[in-house]
Structure 1
Amino acid sequence: MSLSKTTIGPFELYTVETGDFRLDGGAMFGVVPKTLWSKALPADEKNRIPMTMRCLLIKSNNTGKVYLIDNGAGTKFNEKMEGIYQLDQSSKNLKNSLQEQGFDFDDVTDIIFTHLHFDHCGGTSFYDDNNKLKLTFPNADYHVVDTHWENANNPNAREKASFLPENINPIKESGKLKLVKENHEYEPGLSSVIANGHTIGQQLPKIEHDGKVLVFAADLIPTHVHVPLPWVMGYDMYPVQTLDEKDTFLKQAAEQNWNLYLEHDAHKEIIRIQQKDGRFSVSETLTLNDL
């Protein structure tokens, strides 16, 4: 596994790969017909498409903080769940990725959760040899948007399956939870963009310096195939709101040449966007090494 890295102003950025998995292609593309999406992402015999869990580590040379954005699904899945999602951490996993980039669990001071669905926060804790839940990052504070924390702890019946108690409870009981407001600024040059369509209170971390911008696109743009406006996930709680948020977000990305860091795309790490005749498309594919 070869991981990429770069520097934007005072921020050192490192790719952290935490594993691969598969999700139902129909759920990932909602009302878009399989005959269209399967051309870009062919499904397996169970109609699942390849996905990854790509996180981002940010070391700030201004504050000394080491931020980790999301941390994957973790290791708490039983055999049945591993089979459903075909979770594979044999070549990519959180510990190995951090070590390859020169970090360990103890080095992380802050975890910024885009949201608390299982594939974004499961790595926060693990079962020890006595089957007790332990925290993976002993020195880290956990940052969650306040409206999302309320939603995660009081989910509707449709979203409940994504908020697993074994993921949420260790965060709740850690004493290290930091609730933030929408569009929070963590420090100069590191802020977040809010997006409520997928789930209430999802935050997309944004790094910027001297006109260069990298946005962690999370589940607003999970893969490069989701760039066209109508290509919205069936998982989204409020798909019409996602449409509006994507339109605003992608217009800014195209006009200001943003670099969009893709969390779930198994093949593309960073994309840039262009707009032509009212349609958005990928203009360029990069990695952190290219920035």
Structure 2
Amino acid sequence: MVYINAEFIECNKVHMLGMFSMTGGCDEKSEKPFRYFFKIDTLKRQGIKYEQTLIPGIGFKIEKGGWYQNIAFFPCPLTVFYTQIEEIKQTTIGTYIDGTYHRDIFLAKLKIYNKDFLDWKIVEYKSNRNDYFPFPLLINFVNNFIAAHSDFNKLDFDNLFSEFDKPGWNNVSLEDLISKLKISFYSDSQSRPGKDNHFWTSAVVTNIETNRYFKNQIEGFFKTKYKSGNWNGDAFESTIESDYAWAASHSREYFDSPGLEQRIKLELGIYLAKEFEKAEFLFSKFSTSGETLENIKSAVPK
């Protein structure tokens, strides 16, 4: 069974981008002239709490609407920026044991608009969560994505909905992203008859998170700090030292340098602490192509 502390769930800050939230209960002394609510109709009183009464195969009737000047609740549309909540309900499936259905399914039908409101699509979100209150996080993410990228077709809803039910779906750790990088070093040279030969050291970065925004950040760091670099598949190579000397040239040679690797990772961490934006990383993670989109500021210096 799922418990809430009142018959109504209030919808807060529906007109503030990325700030939508829900709270259980209804403050009858509120001075707000109009408020949005979800009303859960199938309730029965149990002590000081309300217990939502499960109807096998049907679930709860959840009605969206408003409350005008604390006089009465009435049905009305509920739109949070670019997301209109068409339908929201909780139903039950599973085995009937001791009078209780032991699995609840949260369902929401959403109409998603483009930033110009000229086009829209219907998406359906289904969750095994047994409460409603993480739901605003999903709405806020979708709205922020549309605000940044204009077009709902650039958002991979299937991937987002699948990941949203997992703990830590929106956690991003720069420490983890940096620590898992592997940096290999190579010394190389070029013979120049009649001149000092050219010697340089290359750093090859592998095991990079497959996120286009983060890969742009890696490229931006090396091209800012070392003024060079290019991609070779999923690896990024940059010349980190260069010199000329009257000495014999040699072929490309690998060498191990934990100290140099640690120094570069530290420099990268300082760079990302200033340049990295968690929201852009997540936008890239859940975009349809996995690429950073056209209005993300490029991390690569021009």
Give TM-score, length-normalised by structure 1: 0.25
Larger RCO of the pair (alpha carbons < 8 Å, separation 6+): 1
Give TM-score, length-normalised by structure 2: 0.24
